[in-house]
């Protein structure tokens, strides 16, 4: 750290300056004492020469002390300037980090927003494809949020969303990502699953947490509201290989859970329900078509074996 080095250098400079100043003062004092002792006698030539050298050395020490003092002042100025620059740089970095955090997080709940969620999902998919891992995307939607907003106001609704955000974060793992997707919708990215049932257990815990009583302040009154949610789950690679596909499939599964009031639904289960529904309709459609063909055949094969006109056939089909 340059600032720390300069501070240490300044301290050493001040210490050396103090030693030099003390030595100069001691030499000057000794010189004065010797001169006083020889004031009434003619000193030998060697002693006089030594006194002259002593005086010159004392002056040099004073000069060195002044130069060190000037150097110390320059170091102090440099340290002050460096400290100011460091503070400005730290403030700029903090502001940049704050702006980046605001751009990637929901301002109300502090959760990652859909941009950051998609980025983390893309990275998780890359790892999952490389290591053949299973991961899940959960689409969480509050069932009765509109009624809370309409009854108690938007501030109460915001408090509910903040509470739900905390509960979602507490009921997922540290490696997972919880995001506010928008409105009363949340997304959860659950990684490194051993089997799809692991996601179902996490979803069940989330539902239990959301359904716990929620106390919110409305004006000066504490109101307890009961929350319900529907969760749709898509599984990689079963339900899709891209971030967009997994989010879409989880959204579709969530609506299936909401329609059936089942709480949780898997995307592949929705496919099965759709297939079963279509399979159930196919025999009925075949019977209708068969009945339709028989009626046309019977009419066209009349007792006189005379074909009907096109208009007559159309009326018969329309019957």
Q: Which of 298, 180, 187, 175 is nearest to 233 (CA)?
A: 187
Task: Render the burial of 133-145: b for 16+ CB within 10 Å, e for the rest.
Answer: bbbbbbbbbbbeb
Q: Which residue has the tokens 């050395």?
A: 57
Residue 261: CA count within 13 A, CB half-sphere = 1
> How many H-runs (helices) and E-runs (strands) does the chain carry?
9, 7
Q: What is the DSSP letter of 195?
A: S
CA distance 138 to 109: 18
CA distance 272 to 287: 23
CA distance 89 to 293: 84
CA distance 189 to 236: 11
Query: Which is it for the CA torsion 78, 83, 84, 85, positive or negative?
Result: positive
Phi-psi region of 9 (alpha: psi -120 to 50; beta: other; left: phi over 0): alpha
Q: Which residues make Cβ contacts (< 8 Å) with residue 262, sequence separation at least 6?
A: 230, 256
User: Where in the sequence numbering do the catalytic residues fall?
Assistant: 184
């Amino acid at each position: 750290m340059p600032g720390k080095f300069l501070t240490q250098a300044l301290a050493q400079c001040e210490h050396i300056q103090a030693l030099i100043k003390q030595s100069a003062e001691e030499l000057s004092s000794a010189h004065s004492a010797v001169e006083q002792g020889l004031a009434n006698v003619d000193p030998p030539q060697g002693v006089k020469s030594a006194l002259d050298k002593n005086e010159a050395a004392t002056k040099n020490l004073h000069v060195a002390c002044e130069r060190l003092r000037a150097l110390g002042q320059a170091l102090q100025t440099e340290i002050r300037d460096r400290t100011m620059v460091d503070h400005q740089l730290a403030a700029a970095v903090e502001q940049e980090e704050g702006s980046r955090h605001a751009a990637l997080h929901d301002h109300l709940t502090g959760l990652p927003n859909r941009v950051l969620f998609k980025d983390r999902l893309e990275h998780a998919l890359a790892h999952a494809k490389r290591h053949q891992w299973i991961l899940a995307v959960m689409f969480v939607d509050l069932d009765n949020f509109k009624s809370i907003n309409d009854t108690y106001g938007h501030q109460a609704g915001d408090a509910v969303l903040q509470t739900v955000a905390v509960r979602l974060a507490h009921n997922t793992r540290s490696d997972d990502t919880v995001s506010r997707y928008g409105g009363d919708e949340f997304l959860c990215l659950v990684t490194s699953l051993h089997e799809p049932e692991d996601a179902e257990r996490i979803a069940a815990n989330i539902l239990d947490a959301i359904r716990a009583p929620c106390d919110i302040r409305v004006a000066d009154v504490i109101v307890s509201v009961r929350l319900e949610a529907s969760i749709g789950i898509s599984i990689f690679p079963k339900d899709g290989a891209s971030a967009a596909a997994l989010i879409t499939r989880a959204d579709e599964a969530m609506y299936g859970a909401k329609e059936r009031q089942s709480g949780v639904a898997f995307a592949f289960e929705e496919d099965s329900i759709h297939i079963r529904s279509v399979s159930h309709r196919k025999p009925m459609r075949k019977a209708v078509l068969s009945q339709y063909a028989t009626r046309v055949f019977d009419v066209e094969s009349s007792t006189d074996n005379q074909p009907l006109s096109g208009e007559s056939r159309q009326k018969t089909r329309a019957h």
